[in-house]
Structure 1
Amino acid sequence: MREIRAIIRPEKLQEVLEALERIGHPGVTVYQVEGHGRQAGLVEQFRGREFRVDLLPKLELRIVCRDEEVEQLLQAIAGAARTGEIGDGKIFVYPVLEALRIRSGERGEEAL
């Protein structure tokens, strides 16, 4: 099993969720996060004064899946989240050692 963590632009969430639904994988957890990479923040103006916003709003999506589903999920997320501009985000894949469905007691891939 693997966990996919995708950091995306907030405005791309609906497109990503629709892409996941189309491939039959609707389960996702979404977190509101802040950060920056190469995008390095923005310079904004407020009441005639400039100020720098170093941490930009992003969303983190987490999905746990079977090993054989990883590539399809990566393609779906990246395709839906891509604008071609700096700040589109990143996707990370981690191993998952165990899963347990609390309601039924199912373990491993059966818990997904």
Structure 2
Amino acid sequence: MKQIRAIIQPEKLSEVRDALEKLGCYRGATISDIMGQGTQRGITQAWRGEKFQLDLLPKVSIDLVVRDEDVDTILRAIVESARTGEIGDGKIFVYDVEQVIRIRTGEMNEAAL
């Protein structure tokens, strides 16, 4: 099993969720509003003639735990639906998951997904 964590632009969340729903190979996701900076290092904006630097930009984090055989399909769907071609599109991280337990039933690993 793998955990996929995608950091994307907030305005792309609906498109990514729609793409994942069409796949039908995951059971749920945790979605969080986050702030961060990467290569972009923030943006400079002006308000009432004053310039100021926004170092941390709003992003959305999507966390999924999926079967190993579904990882490539899910990654492709996220990349295709989240990409704008501009700096700040985000990143995807893939981690190994050793064990999953569904608290309500006690099911373990893939049965708990």
CA deviation string 1:19-63 (max 9, x = no partner): 000000351111111111111111011222110001000011000
| Counterpart Cα distance in 1 of 2:80 and 2:61 | 16
| Counterpart Cα distance in 2 of 1:44 and 1:87 | 16
Match of 1:7 in 2: 7
Structure 2 spans left out of the alignment, 5+ residues: none
| Counterpart Cα distance in 1 of 2:55 and 2:47 | 15
**How many residue pairs get matched?**
112
User: Quick one: which amino acid aligns to residue 10 of structure 1?
Assistant: P
TM score, norm. by length of structure 1: 0.97
| Counterpart Cα distance in 2 of 1:55 and 1:108 | 36
| Counterpart Cα distance in 1 of 2:27 and 2:85 | 25
Q: Show the 5 A alignment for 1:78-93.
A: 78-93=79-94
Structure 1 spans left out of the alignment, 5+ residues: none
Cα shift at 1:9? 0.1
| Segment drifting more, 100-109 vs 20-29 | 20-29
| Counterpart Cα distance in 2 of 1:47 and 1:96 | 49
Question: Does structure 2 conserve the Cα–Cα contact (< 8 Å) formed by 1:20 and 1:26?
Answer: no
TM score, norm. by length of structure 2: 0.96
- Give 4+ residue runs of structure 1 displaced > 6 Å after superposition: none
